[in-house]
Structure 1
Amino acid sequence: MDKHVALISGAGRGIGAATAKMLASEGVAVGVLDVLLDEAEAVAQQIRDAGYQALALKCDVGLREDVENAISTVEKEFGPITILVNNAGVGGPFHRVDQVSDDEWEWIMNTNLKSVFLFTRNLLPKMKEQGFGRIVNIASIQGLYGSAHSSTYVASKHGMIGYTKTIAAEWGEHGITCNAICPGYVDTALGVQTDKISDYMQRVLAKSPVKRIAKPEEIAALVRHLVGPHGGYINGSSYVIDGGITSHVGITSDL
């Protein structure tokens, strides 16, 4: 994969960082994007120290100007972008629909969903010209069902999955695939929210058949497969990685 260039949002930590490091280890030149530049630079430096190519950029993924600047900068540094991983996401506060403010709704929707639109709108025509593109959107198992007190997050992830299917249908004939990954609970700042619910982990593990949460590298491994040489016929799919939580009644609606 040493001829590929990847752009990964929210890559300063968690799933994004693990994905950046894993793809870089396959020879992919990686644009490490995050709203926190220090964290993005730390990941990029680790990749460079290992002998691979990486560039860190500050990017508020909900702002068109930031997205366009990130794309053009990575293109100038490494060449045409062939892989896009829309990973940036925020969870937001836990409360009822009638307590959601306009600012909260816009913040979550801009980060989780509008960002996917901004990146793909810019890159899809370029990928079409190249005759190749791999897009992976990091959604959530909460994009598959409703969950009390998480209305905006749930709506954004449902929207991401629907958008993924549409991109797959529109652009597949041009050598471009688009798929979503729906993680369950992952050992990241977003996935382990003990600061909001004191017994969060106990309640999650009680519902998990495997009695643990995922490592970021386990999600990154699926990204690598979907964008790699054996992923070309996988298009418009949504892959659940949750240890079996959604395989039985009850799932997580009361978390």
Structure 2
Amino acid sequence: MVLDSTAIVTGGGRGIGQAICVRLAQKGADVVIADLDSAEMSETKRLVENEGQRALAVETDVTELESVQDTVDTALDEFDEVGILVNNAGIAGPTDPCEEIAQEAWDATTNVNLRGPFFMCREVIPIMKEQGYGRVVNIASVTGKKPLLNRTPYAATKMGLIGFTRTLALEVGEHDINVNAICPGSVDGPRIRGVFEQQAEATGQTYDTVRTEVENQSPRNELVDREDIANTTAYLCSDEASRITGQDINVSAGKVMY
């Protein structure tokens, strides 16, 4: 499996995004790291270049159309083409009952988790159509398929992202552009640990109790590793997955099976 293309990965500075950047580089892709944190992007850039591929770090605010346009233009100027887009940037949003959630918190969550992928696809899809080839992977969540207590903004955006994925796949399939979503379960790392802390505070439980309860939702009694998501992303971007489009694929250690 060789990816002879250029990939834009939003939220590529750390966590799942960084793992995706490195894995795509290992498979032969040059990588545009689109993020807001310059220090984290610099580290990802170093890791990509260590794999022998070219890397470009571009400060990007996915909620602002002009910033997205500048990022895509920069990618084209540097690499001449964009064959892969991974919409990974996302935020967890508040952990509160619906009636206690401020409008600002709702807007912030929807702006990053839904408007961001829309803006990125809006700018990249015409390029892919002209090339006659493209792969789009949206990082959704199993929360796009099952409820998560006190997380209405997050759940709404991830369910919305699955609908966006299916509809866009229908629109662009004739141009050899595949659009898929990955639905991770709870991925171990700083972000989910922060969510566990919020949930523990909201429910009056200990952090360890919350974490164990989440782990036990999987028949394997474990969280997902970020490399699991990176591996699936690389596969979906390869020619080996050329007949897979419009799908939302669980990588959840069995937490969700539909």
Q: 1:62 and 1:206, CA in 2 relative to 1: closer, same or farther beyond 3 A?
A: same
Deviations 1:204-242 (A, max 9, x none): 112221111111111110101100011111010000111
Moved over 4 A (4+): none
Matched with 1:82 is 83
Q: CA deviation at 1:188?
A: 2.5
Question: How many Å separate the matches in 2 of 1:15 and 1:65?
Answer: 25
Q: CA deviation at 1:2?
A: 5.3
Matched with 1:251 is none
Give the 3-state SS of the residue equivalent to 2:250 in structure 1: strand
Question: How many Å separate the matches in 2 of 1:17 and 1:152?
Answer: 25
Q: CA deviation at 1:194?
A: 3.4
Name the Cα RMSD after superposition.
1.4
Matched with 2:249 is 239
Matched with 1:26 is 27
Aligned 8 A contact 1:181 1:240 in 2: yes
Q: Which has the higher helix share?
A: 2
Matched with 1:119 is 120
Amino acid at match of 1:195: E
Deviations 1:88-140 (A, max 9, x none): 01011210111111111111001101011001111111111100010000000
Question: How many Å separate the matches in 1 of 2:107 and 2:189?
Answer: 23
Q: 1:185 and 1:33, CA in 2 relative to 1: closer, same or farther beyond 3 A?
A: same
Map of 1:50-61 to 2, 5 A cutoff? 50-61=51-62
Structure 1 residue ranges without an equivalent (≥5): 249-255
Moved more, 203-212 or 109-118: 203-212
Note if 1:218 corresponds to 2:228.
yes
Amino acid at match of 1:206: N
Aligned 8 A contact 1:136 1:226 in 2: yes
Question: How many Å separate the matches in 1 of 2:134 and 2:6?
Answer: 10
Give the 3-state SS of the residue equivalent to 1:76 in structure 2: helix
Give the 3-state SS of the residue equivalent to 2:90 in structure 1: coil
Give the 3-state SS of the residue equivalent to 1:30 in structure 2: strand
Aligned length: 248
Structure 2 residue ranges without an equivalent (≥5): 201-206
Amino acid at match of 1:97: C
* TM-score w.r.t. length of structure 1: 0.94
Deviations 1:48-68 (A, max 9, x none): 133221111111111111111
Matched with 1:110 is 111
Map of 1:190-205 to 2, 5 A cutoff? 190-192=191-193, 193-196=195-198, 197=200, 198=207, 199-205=209-215
Matched with 2:164 is 163
Matched with 1:252 is none
- Identity across matched positions, percent: 35
Question: How many Å separate the matches in 1 of 2:34 and 2:210?
Answer: 29
Give the 3-state SS of the residue equivalent to 2:192 in structure 1: coil
Q: CA deviation at 1:46?
A: 1.8
Amino acid at match of 1:127: M
Q: CA deviation at 1:195?
A: 2.8
Question: How many Å separate the matches in 2 of 1:122 and 1:47?
Answer: 24
Q: CA deviation at 1:246?
A: 2.1
Question: How many Å separate the matches in 2 of 1:164 and 1:247?
Answer: 19
Aligned 8 A contact 2:22 2:51 in 1: no
Aligned equivalent of 1:227, options 229, 237, 240: 237
Give the 3-state SS of the residue equivalent to 1:181 in structure 2: strand
Give the 3-state SS of the residue equivalent to 2:69 in structure 1: helix
Question: How many Å separate the matches in 1 of 2:215 and 2:228?
Answer: 17
Moved more, 88-97 or 202-211: 202-211
Question: How many Å separate the matches in 2 of 1:4 and 1:190?
Answer: 30
